[in-house]
């Protein structure tokens, strides 16, 4: 099992939106960064644990724990000309973009990025490194366990 941090802008899709879904499950669509796509396509598996993270927010941080509930499959938005995620170079027989499904396990207290930065145990956590703008990043098992202790 692996651990991940997945960012979402609350204006776009928030933890409240995820919690309101009937089965609390969403296709993590619209990712248009190759490295993040590769994480989903090549490394994420059903059962992997996820920190759901609000980004671009007044107080960015971890707001919930989720689980990968479906392995990677082609992101349907790439084929829809009406979607803001449409990709004219993608074809059904040769998709460029993939997504996984995630399911909410439970909300957590907000753990703001400012708090995460205070802990020596998290100093190498990818989301805290300068210049990191990826929407999906792996989380080291030791980092995951430490964060679980401060929830």
- Please give the model's pTM, rounded to 2 decimal places: 0.95
Helix, strand or coil, per DSSP, at residue 21: coil
Give the tens place of pLDDT for each residue, 15-24. 999 999 999 9
Mean pLDDT in order along the chain per 10 residues (151 residues): 96 96 96 97 98 93 98 98 96 97 98 97 95 93 98 93
Residue 29 DSSP symbol: -
CA 92/CA 105 separation, integer angstroms: 32
Contacts for 3 with CB less than 8 Å, ≥ 6 apart:
48, 49, 50, 51, 138, 139, 140, 141, 143, 144
Please tell me the predicted confidence (pLDDT) of residue 133. Answer: 86
Strand order in the sheet with 49-54: 25-27, 98-112, 61-74, 49-54, 3-8, 136-139
Parent domain of 87 = 3-150
Q: What is the pLDDT of residues 137-150, one digit of tens each?
A: 999 999 999 999 99
The Cα-based distances of 19 to 13, 28, 71, 104, 122 in angstroms read 11, 14, 21, 7, 28
Q: Which residues of 21-30 are buried (b: 16+ CB within 10 A; e: fewer)?
A: eeebebebbb
8-state DSSP, 94: B
CATH number of the domain bearing residue 130: 3.10.590.10
Please state the domain count of the chain: 1
């Amino acid at each position: 099992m692996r651990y991940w941090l997945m960012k979402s802008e609350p204006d776009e899709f928030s933890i409240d939106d995820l919690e309101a879904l009937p089965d609390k499950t969403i296709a993590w669509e619209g990712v248009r960064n190759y490295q993040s796509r590769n994480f989903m396509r090549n490394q994420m598996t059903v059962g992997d644990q996820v920190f759901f993270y609000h980004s671009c927010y007044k107080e960015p941080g971890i707001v919930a724990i989720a689980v990968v509930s479906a392995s990677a499959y082609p992101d349907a938005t790439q084929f829809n000309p009406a979607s803001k995620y449409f990709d004219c170079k993608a074809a059904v027989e040769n998709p460029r973009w993939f997504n996984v499904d995630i399911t909410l396990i439970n909300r957590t207290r907000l753990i703001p990025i400012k708090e995460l930065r205070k802990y020596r145990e998290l100093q190498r956590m990818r989301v805290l490194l300068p210049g990191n703008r990826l929407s999906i990043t792996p989380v080291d098992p030791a980092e995951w366990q430490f964060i679980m202790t401060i929830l």
